[in-house]
Amino acid sequence: MHEFDDAVLECFLKNQGQLFSEPVAETLEAAESFLEECMAVVVNSVDEVLAFFEDEGIDVEGAVGDEILEADEVFDVGDGRYLIVEG
């Protein structure tokens, strides 16, 4: 089970519209439950974001540097970490 701290949960609550057309969570508790359910992960760098997508078999060829961060599934927590949510 992943531990999602308040910074991660608040980031998801604030930005969930980039991945979902309607809010999936409105409280920190609901956000945590949702993220646990969909097996979201928190990584510590852009390189780890790329590695995650490669491990999942998602084609990242041609994604240069920060371009991968523009994917709807990637949320910038703001402290160097990234939340990856597979919708």
CB neighbour burial string for 61-85, b if at least 16 within 10 angstroms, e if fewer: eebeeeebeebebbbebeeebbbbb
79 is written with which tokens?
């402290």
pLDDT tens sequence across 32-67: 999 999 999 999 999 999 999 989 888 777 776 678
Model pTM above 0.85: yes
pLDDT at 65: 66
The closest alpha carbon to 32, from 5, 60, 71, 67, belongs to: 5
pLDDT at 81: 96
Residue 76 DSSP code: E
pLDDT tens sequence across 8-36: 999 999 999 999 999 999 999 999 999 99
